Homo-oligomer: A and B are copies of this chain.
Amino acid sequence: MDSGIFSCTGVPRSSLVGFDASSESEASSQEMQIGVPLNEARDLQVRKLEIPDKSKRFVELLQQLTVCDAISDEDFQKRFQELSSLGDDHVICVIEDTNRGKIVATGSVFIEKKFIRNCSKVGHIEDAAVDCDSRGMQLGKKVLFFLTDHAQSVGCYTVIFDYSNENKAFYDKQKEIQMVKYFI
């Protein structure tokens, strides 16, 4: 495993929408950074999900990932509270384009407590997506860094990019369907 950053090769699109390796490389060559424009000025904020993000097209971003019908405000808040009650054991990262008031990237990590490896913990990264109009800016890497940093900070010995594929056709083509990063 390369140090410092995930390799995204072979990760199913349904789990990793917009985290295309080629576009990330292209962006890397241009030394893109958060807040630096691709084609226009963008102010980007990396943070945890908040309830108002529903009105900032967070659900519509998830719809680029997989099946995600419209969610009522009540259902959204209920699920948000359920996840919030887990504290550090379940964190959803978003990147907001603050100029447009739009969520342009997301990903989640949940912490599994185990008996193996001296009662260790493992971080599982799920449901990562970058908005179709915001790719090529390394936003995917920023989401993954946010989530892996969190997993490491709460004592995980490893973090796994889980495969939760809805796209059978794509799945069948994959040779590698998961990323694993060890902290120790």
- Chain A contacts to B: CB under 8 angstroms: 58-59, 62, 65-69, 71, 75-76, 78-79, 82-83, 90, 110, 112-119, 122, 124, 126-127, 158, 160, 162-165, 175, 177-178, 180
Complex Cα gap A126–B158 (Å):
14
Nearest-Cβ distance from residue A58 to partner chain B, whole angstroms: 8
Q: Is A71's CB under 8 angstroms from B118's CB? A: yes
Q: Across the two chains, which residue of chain B brings its CB closest to A175?
A: B175
B116 contacts A68, CB within 8 Å?
yes
Q: Are B163 and A178 in contact (CB under 8 A)?
A: yes
Count this chain's copies in the assembly.
2
A59 and B113 CA atoms in complex are apart in Å by 15
Contact A127–B114 (Cβ < 8 Å):
yes
Check B66–A116 contact: CB distance below 8 A: yes
A126→B113 contact, CB < 8 A:
no
Contact of A116 among B67, B75, B90, B177 (CB under 8 A): B67
Q: Would you give the shortest CB distance from A54 to chain B, in whole angstroms?
A: 9
Kindly list chain B residues whose C-beta atoms are within 8 Å of the C-beta of A126.
112, 114
Residue A115 contacts which of B79, B110, B119, B177 (CB distance < 8 angstroms)?
B79
Interface pair B175/A113, CB less than 8 Å apart: no
Q: Are B177 and A165 interface neighbours, CB within 8 A?
A: no
Q: Which listed residue, B79, B115, B180, touches A62 by the CB 8 Å rule? A: B115
Given contacts A71-B119, A124-B124, whether A113 and B163 have CB atoms under 8 Å apart is no
Contacts of A122 in B (CB 8 A): 164
Q: Determine the distance from Cα of A171 to Cα of B83 in the docked complex, in whole angstroms.
A: 32
Task: Tell me which of B67, B115, B162 contacts A71 (CB under 8 A).
Answer: B115
B165 touching A115, Cβ below 8 Å: no
Bound complex: CA A126 to CA B162 (Å): 12
Contact A82 B113 (CB under 8 A): yes
